[in-house]
Amino acid sequence: MTISSQLSADGQELTITIQGRFDFNTHQAFRDAYQSSGSSPRRYVVDLNGATYLDSSALGMLLLLRDHAGSDTADIRLINANPDVRKVLSVSNFEQLFAIA
């Protein structure tokens, strides 16, 4: 598992990219990805293209990010989820909290 983050040139959008299993072991790395950026982006993108698996603690981490980004005013997009990951997100109805593309 690797987690990396990239701030857009204008500093408005932070993209967090997840490779491999997105589970409890990634807790600290995921937190670091949005906390240590030192900036305050307006939008977040979580790129799940390389995520092979996602468990309920990963859902919890997404809620933490949402909380960090302003809860109901958070602008977070989850992109490139594979069908398995997508299924986990939709069983929990996370499309009500995140834009899932």
Partner 1 sequence: MPRRLSILIAEDGAADRMLLAAIVGRQGHHVVTAANGAEAVALFERERPQLVLMDALMPVMDGFEAARQIKQLAGNELVPIIFLTSLTENEALVRCLEAGGDDFIAKPYNPIILEAKIQAMHRLRRLQATVLEQRDLIGRRNQQLLDEQRAAKAIFDKVAHAGCLNAPNIRYRQSPRALFNGDLLLAAQAPAGRMFVLLGDFTGHGLPAAIGAMPLAETFYGMTAKGYSSNQILREINAKLKLILPVEMFCCATLLDINLGQGILRVWNGGLPDGYLLQAGGERLPLRSGHLPLGVREATVFDDTFETLPLAVGDRLLLLSDGLLESCNADDELFGEQRLLSVIDANSDRTTLFDDIQEALHAFHGQILDDLSLVEVNMIAEDRPVADLSPPSYPLGSKELHPRDWSNRFELRPSSLRMADPLPITMQLLLQISPLRCRIGTIYTVLTELYANAVEHGVLLLDSTIKCGADGFATYYRERQQRLDELVEGFVSIELTVKSEGPSGYLRIGVRDSGPGFDVQQALNQQYCSGRLGGRGLRMIRQLSERFYWEPDGKVLYVEFHWSGHA
33 binds partner 1 (CB under 8 A): no
According to CB under 8 A, which one of 25, 49, 57, 70 is a site residue for partner 1? Answer: 57
Between 40 and 93, whose beta carbon lies closer to partner 1? 93
Could you tell me which stretch among 2-10, 14-22, 32-40, 52-60 binds partner 1 (CB under 8 A)?
Answer: 52-60
85-94 CB contacts, 8 Å cutoff, 24+ apart: 85/22, 85/48, 85/51, 85/52, 85/53, 85/54, 88/54, 88/55, 88/59, 89/54, 89/59, 92/56, 92/59, 94/59, 94/62
According to CB under 8 A, which one of 36, 39, 96, 101 is a site residue for partner 1? Answer: 96
59 binds partner 1 (CB under 8 A): yes
How large is the C-alpha radius of gyration of the chain?
12
25 binds partner 1 (CB under 8 A): no
